[in-house]
Amino acid sequence: MNLSPEDGELAYELDRAHVFHSWSAQAALTPMVIAGGLGSTVWDFDGNSYLDFSSQLINVNIGHQHPAVIAAIQAQADILTTVAPAAANLARGQAAQRILERAGEQFSKVFFTNGGADANENAMRLARLYTGRDKVLSMYRSYHGNTGSAVAATGDWRRVPNEYARSHVHFFGPYAYRSEFWSTTPEEESSRALHHLERVIQAEGSQSIAAILIETIPGTAGILVPPPGYLAGVRALADKYGIVLIFDEVMCGFGRAGGWFAFQALAEQGDVVVPDLITFAKGVNSGYVPVGGVIIPPFIAEIFDERVFPGGLTYSGHPLAMASIIGALDAMKNEGIVENAARIGRDVLGPGLRALASKHEVIGEVRGLGVFWALDLVADPVTREPLSLAVIGRLKAKLLSLGLLPIFADNRLHVVPPCVVTDEECARALAIFDEAFAAVTVPA
């Protein structure tokens, strides 16, 4: 495309004049202007290119402007651009079929939503209707969306000014590097976190709890890969007390963790667990068109054979979104994109990030799978005091100046490129990280 700095200036001026941004104090914003992208790279109107190691909001799994996804959207637009959810539509059925093929034979239906938040809303609704119970348990270190119940289920600071929904209870999940349980090994962290969860269930009254909602791998909270046995232990507690287990795979699903779903990637490491409900969204089509959904097993779907399900959305299963899912999932299968994400994590990013940690004391811990990694940054490697936001700001500016678009959450640098990222692009990114960490030192 022809890049005009004047267009970039106009885009910035229009944004600051008219756009109200999420999770922000508006006056201080200086948003980056992105003009275009391709694969793992984006650029601005001044011609500056950046390796996109943020995947925007950790969702562009198939990379920017993948031709198969664009072609699928265009082809559907020529046939039918919208249709009511009560009608049957070929693209909707084919998208659901492809999702279920990847989720596994335990699941039979997909309820489509507009995004991840309303996917979680409807998963909680299904659990409450199925059990006849009300409470939902979720982690303090979590993010489940910005709608009524989803934000109440969220554990981080965004919940506090938005607690309008009822019957949400929080618990601490495992985080061995900053343990709430004084554990010294992953095994201790797992067993003590499970003991804590069971005590919360008992104290709340198990007969009042409809669901346990957890991100299979908590993302915004720090890419907290669960220690061995934890998910299996949560599954056992859900079964023991008759609670529906919901895995939120909005961020960690569809290649991000090196499997079609993160619970499948973790199963390859020995923690074989299948949830009752799965929520998904942006990873399924890389956010090209807004979409989300709930993957439902027969034993829950069948209770609505003769009973009305009290939920719905005008754009549920929107044809353009469905086409983008078909295009994305077919391309990911045909091009081995999920396998590439697993290999990159195992052979390139994991070893490379650990090598950086051995060189830079500011990196307290490296954790992740696939193309889903976080660096826990510290001011002191002994006390593990989090790196200050002032230093984080300098580090972000340095990375941008070196041509890499990063994403930070609190004191953590999340390393989350598209699943199509190449070895060469990872090598460039690792070199940029190395230079930035060397240049940005922690004040005495």
How many Å apart are CA 184 and CA 175, to the nearest integer? Answer: 11
Q: pLDDT (tens digit, 9 = 90+) per residue, 312-331?
A: 999 999 999 999 999 999 99
Res. 3: pLDDT tops 90: no
Res. 49: pLDDT tops 50: yes
Tell me the pLDDT band of 443, cut-offs 50, 70 and 90.
Answer: low
Quick one: average pLDDT of 210-236? 97
Query: DSSP secondary-structure letter at 201?
Result: H
Tell me the pLDDT band of 444, cut-offs 50, 70 and 90.
Answer: very low
DSSP E strands, 86-240 = 109-113, 135-139, 168-171, 209-215
Q: pLDDT (tens digit, 9 = 90+) per residue, 52-89?
A: 999 999 999 999 999 999 999 999 999 999 999 999 99
Tell me the pLDDT band of 268, cut-offs 50, 70 and 90.
Answer: confident
Query: DSSP secondary-structure letter at 293?
Result: E
How many Å apart are CA 79 and CA 82, to the nearest integer? Answer: 9
What's the pLDDT score for residue 248?
Answer: 98
For the chain, domains (ranges, CATH) are 34-65+336-439 (3.90.1150.10), 67-334 (3.40.640.10)
Which conformational region is residue 332 in: left (phi greater than 0), alpha (psi within -120 to 50 degrees), or beta? alpha
Res. 402: pLDDT tops 90: yes
Q: For residue 34, what are the CA distances in angstroms to 31, 257, 414?
A: 9, 26, 20
Quote the percentage of the chain above a pLDDT of 90.
Answer: 94
How many Å apart are CA 245 and CA 237, to the nearest integer? Answer: 9
Say which residue the tokens 């495309």 belong to: 1
Tokens representing 334 are: 């045909």
Say which residue the tokens 């009560």 belong to: 86
Res. 236: pLDDT tops 60: yes
User: ∠ CA 9-58-175 to the nearest 5 degrees?
Assistant: 135
More confidently predicted of 376 and 271: 376
Given a contact cutoff of 8 angstroms between Cβ atoms, the answer to whether 242 and 163 are in contact is no
Tell me the CB-side half-sphere exposure of residue 231, using CA atoms within 13 A.
Answer: 28
Tokens representing 143 are: 């993010």
Tokens representing 377 are: 């940054």
Tell me the pLDDT band of 269, cut-offs 50, 70 and 90.
Answer: confident
Quote the percentage of the chain above a pLDDT of 70.
Answer: 99
User: Of 442, 384, 436, 394, nearest to 415 (Cα)?
Assistant: 436
What are residue 375's phi and psi, to 5 degrees?
-110, 120
User: Of 428, 444, 436, 432, nearest to 393 (Cα)?
Assistant: 436
* Pairing verdict, β 292-296 and 109-113: antiparallel
* pTM, 2 dp: 0.97
Least confident among 163-167, 181-185, 243-247, 287-291 = 163-167
* Pairing verdict, β 49-52 and 41-43: antiparallel
Res. 362: pLDDT tops 80: yes
In DSSP notation, 316-384 reads: TT-HHHHHHHHHHHHHHHHTTHHHHHHHIIIIIIHHHHHHHHHH-TTEEEEEEETTEEEEEEEEETTTT
Give the list of residues 6+ apart from residue 132 with CB closer than 8 angstroms, or none.
none
Give the list of residues 6+ apart from residue 416 with CB closer than 8 angstroms, or none.
53, 54, 55, 58, 256, 371, 372, 373, 407
Least confident among 195-204, 263-272, 277-286 = 263-272
User: Of 212, 214, 172, 211, nearest to 189 (Cα)?
Assistant: 172
Q: Would you call 10 helix, strand, or coil by DSSP?
A: helix
- The length of the chain in residues reads 444
**Beta bridge partner(s), residue 15:** none
Q: Would you call 386 helix, strand, or coil by DSSP?
A: strand
What's the pLDDT score for residue 208?
Answer: 98
Tokens representing 168 are: 């949400």
Other CB atoms within 10 Å distance of the CB of residue 383: 9
How many Å apart are CA 323 and CA 312, to the nearest integer? Answer: 20
What's the pLDDT score for residue 439?
Answer: 95
Quick one: average pLDDT of 115-128? 98
Per-chain mean pLDDT for the chain? 96
Quick one: average pLDDT of 139-164? 93
Q: For residue 329, what are the CA distances in angstroms to 72, 265, 296, 409?
A: 11, 17, 19, 29
Quick one: average pLDDT of 327-353? 98
Q: Would you call 124 helix, strand, or coil by DSSP?
A: helix
Which stretch of DSSP H or E encloses residue 188?
Answer: helix 186-204
